[in-house]
Each structure stands twice: as structure tokens, then as C-alpha cells.
Structure 1
Amino acid sequence: LAIVQVIRVILEYVDQKLKGAQNKCAKFLLSCLKCCFWCLEKFIKFLNRNAYIMVAIYGKNFCTSAKDAFFLLMRNIIRVAVLDKVTDFLLFLGKLLIVGIVGICSFFFFTGKIKIVEDAAPSLNYYWVPILTVVFGAYLIAHGFFSVYAMCVDTLFLCFCKCVAALFISRDNT
């Protein structure tokens, strides 16, 4: 992963140096290389994540776990795609909900509209700055918590796929 990221940084550096160049072929080739290495980096991150899950579940070495995870996910590629998109969407809605609630509460707090904490709220001329800071912090915290849930969903999905595969193997043997 680090090697791919270094190559991507080098390609970005070359792209910055060639901004003034008029060579269309070089620009096209550079864009294709950047796209390929971006895809490779995303694939390696995905594979690493699932390989670490398999290491945690079975205690095998990383390479064996990566191979097992890869083949298990390739046998269930449609399920992987659907689960990944549905999970991403639901987690995005959760982050949006949390950030929205925190933003609305901080707006009411900093503008002094909440009677209970009216004395504790500071009097501000520009109340948008602390509100935006609180909202940004809420997003970072929600993202951190929901990344744990995303890892849990991936772990449960790999366990489900492994159980389904074991069920089909045992049914074929009888």
C-alpha cells in the first residue's frame, strides 16, 4: 500500500510539473496511470481490511487470510456490492442526522434561544464560528464512531459468507 501511495504522489508531482506542457499524449497517459494507481490503492485497502478481519477471526497469517478473504468475497461479489453501498448510505444518513441535531442544538445554544441555559451561553457577535466548529467536530466524532460500525458490518458479513459456504459444502458432502 505504501509503495502504491508513493507512486501516486510521484505521479501527482509529475502532473504538477507538466501543467504547462502541451503534449496531449503525455497528459492522457499520466491521467490513465493516476486512475489505475488510484483504483489499485482502493483495492489494496479493501483487501487489507478484510484480510485483517480474517486474521482476527481465524488467527492465520496475513497472506493466507488475504487469499481466503479475496476468494470468499469474489464468490459473493453481488452481496458485497449491495451490502457495501447500503451500509455506506445508512452510515452517511446516521452522520448527517447526528451532525444536523448537533448543529441545530448548538445554534439554539449560541443564539440564546434555550431558556434553561440562557445564562451559560456566551454573548457573541458572530455565533456562526463556534457553531461551524461544533458541527465539524461532531462530524469527525461521528465518522470515528461509525467507522467502528462499518468494520463490525464487514466482520459480520465475512462470518455470514463463511457460514453459508460451510453450509453448502456440508450439504454437498451428504
Structure 2
Amino acid sequence: MKIFEDYASSWYWILIAIGYIMSTLFYPIITFILIAICISYWAVTAVDRFLATSGEAVYKIMANKTPCQYANEMCVPETFNTSNVTKLCPGAQCTFAFYGGEGFYYKYILIFQLCNVFVFLWLVNFSIALGQCTLAGAFASYYWAFKKPADIPTCPLFSSFGRAIRYHTGSLALGSLILALVQFIRIILEYLDHKLKAYQNSFARFLLCCLKCCFWCLEKFIKFINRNAYIMAVRQRNEYKFIRSYELSEIINAMQHLLFRIIRNFG
């Protein structure tokens, strides 16, 4: 019963804080817009790179019987019959090989696609972390205000967003990077699991299942650690800022009042 009372009391104070900072109800829209931008950017780059791999047809010289020094080199079907290759390599043909090209970009297109997915995960996690840090800072402004609502800043949400960008960008980026790495590994494990379904290898399936479970737990744990780390970071900054703004006499009076309440309750 005590647990339910504490839970109800927590929600009561949360609703009071939201009542003082109504703008926090609309901040998830900003997070949604940031995530939508990340998804749009990822989709555009992914489609662009996919279309790049399916560009112009590439033709190569194929020697049928006799060895040819021009084998596996690119050729043009329209001018192949009139070139010197047909004379030096009798029986050679200019056949279709694949779509795309043989440059640096085409050789490492898969790596670029994987990097694109990783950056997408990083940006999405950073947007979510920025929202968590901003909301935590806004509610910390309410919590550490001695005289409510007089000591609450004029625009607590906007001020918290500015502090998060100015002071906590590195922390948010690092936490998002670690979380993105774990999520990227989970995507690779899901891909391997999908590929191994056709082979019916029980041991490999069991090993992948264990790895997927471990990384799922690790992702949840990192999310929990990151969220509380962001809250602690903004809490300490707001605590220092509000305490520093008061005179020593007011702090002493507050401590005396707190000690009086403790003695009265336990005396």
C-alpha cells in the first residue's frame, strides 16, 4: 500500500510541476520533428546510394578459349567489334557484368550504407537524449526554486534547451554513441539470424538467441543509465545555480527551518 501512496504522490507533484511549466507538454513535438528530419535524411541518402549501385550497365571483356591480356577489362559493346581487342584476342566478347561502376565509391558502397545506418541511429538517439535533458532541466528549475513560482525562470524550457546545447552536448553525444553501437550490433545479429534460418543450425540459432537477449538487456541498461546521467547532470547545474543566487543568511534560515521540522517529526 505504501508503494501505491508514493506512486500517487509522485504523480501529484509531477502534475503540479507541469502546471507551472505548461510548455513541457509541447516539447515532444520538437523531438518528433527532429526524429522526422533524421529519418528523412537517412531515407534520402539510402535511396540515393541504392540508385547509384543500379546506374549504368558495366560491360567487361570475356575471353572464351585463348588467354587474353584484356580479360575482365571494361568495354563498350558498340565499339568493341571495331577495336583491336578482337584481333589480339580471337573469340573474346564484350558481355554484361553488373550495374554501377568500379570506382572507390562503388567498391565500398556496403560500408557506406552501414555507416549511414549507424549515423541514423546516433542522430535519433541524440534527439531523444536532447529531449530528456531539456525536460529534466526544465523540471529542475521548478524543483530548485525556493519560492514557487516567483523563482522559476521566465522561459524554463527554452533556458533548459540552451543549457543542454551549450553545456551537455558532449555528454549527450557520448551516451547516444554508446547506445547506437549496441543497437547497431543488434541489427547485425537480427540480419545473421534471418540468414541462418535457412540452414537449420541449432547451435548457431541458440548462440544468436543468447547474444540477442544479452544485447537487448544491455540496450535497456544503457538507456536507464543515460537517462539518469542526464538528469543528474542538469540537476547538479541547477542546484548550484539556484543556491549560488541566494544570500548566506537565507540559506542558514532554510537549514534552521529544515532542522526544526526534523526535530518536530522525530522528537
- TM-score w.r.t. the length of structure 2 is 0.34
Q: TM-score, normalised by structure 1?
A: 0.48
- Compare CA radii of gyration and give the structure with the larger one: 2
More helix by share: 1
